[in-house]
Structure 1
Amino acid sequence: MPVLFRYKGFRFLLYSNEGNPREPIHIHVVKDGIDAKFWLDPVRLAYNDGFNAQVLRELMEVAEANAERIKGAWDEFFTD
């Protein structure tokens, strides 16, 4: 699972097994065993495994600010 970048100890990453057919573009955010997933087009929460609302808002802002970077990495990583 490639880590695209880190922010305040959060890892923004892609999982290599994303289903068949592959899910739409998204990013996983992990810290201290807690995971959240954000769809990117548009940026919105897909699921949350324990982050509070304040943290989720901040993570969503970071995902929005880095959406093009994430999309580019997604395309590069999943190119067949």
Structure 2
Amino acid sequence: MPTILRSNGYRFFFYSADGDEPAHVHVVKGDCEAKVWLSDGAVALNLGFSARDLREIVRNTREQRDAFLEAWNDYFADRG
């Protein structure tokens, strides 16, 4: 599960088995986890984050989208 960014206590990553799904990132902090689609920044899953946390997560995801997509494509190209 490659970590692609750590920011303000959030860890952005994807699971090695995620390659069959559209590009996305998982985000964890403490006991909370979210999943955000890279195509549009929509939250696909939220397990415990507040609305404020989700706004920060989505903002970070949108700001880093190109780098996240590059990491996704590089990682899964090697496994395809």
Query: Normalised by the size of structure 1, how large is the TM-score?
Result: 0.93
Partner of 1:7: 7
Poorly superposed stretches of 4+, deviation over 4 Å: none
The whole-number CA distance in structure 2 between the counterparts of 1:24 and 1:70 is 13
Q: Deviations over 1:13-64 (max 9, x none)?
A: 0101126xx0100000011121100001111100100000011001100000
Q: 1:7 deviation in Å?
A: 0.5
The whole-number CA distance in structure 1 between the counterparts of 2:51 and 2:32 is 14
Instruction: Return 5+ residue gaps in structure 2 as ranges.
Output: none
Equivalences, count:
78
What amino acid maps onto 1:32 in structure 2?
A: G
Which protein is richer in helix relative to its size?
2
Matches within 5 A, 1:1-80: 1-18=1-18, 22-79=20-77, 80=80
Overall identity of the aligned pairs, in %: 40
What amino acid maps onto 1:2 in structure 2?
A: P
Query: Normalised by the size of structure 2, how large is the TM-score?
Result: 0.93
RMSD of aligned residue pairs (Cα, Å) = 1.0
Instruction: Return 5+ residue gaps in structure 1 as ranges.
Output: none
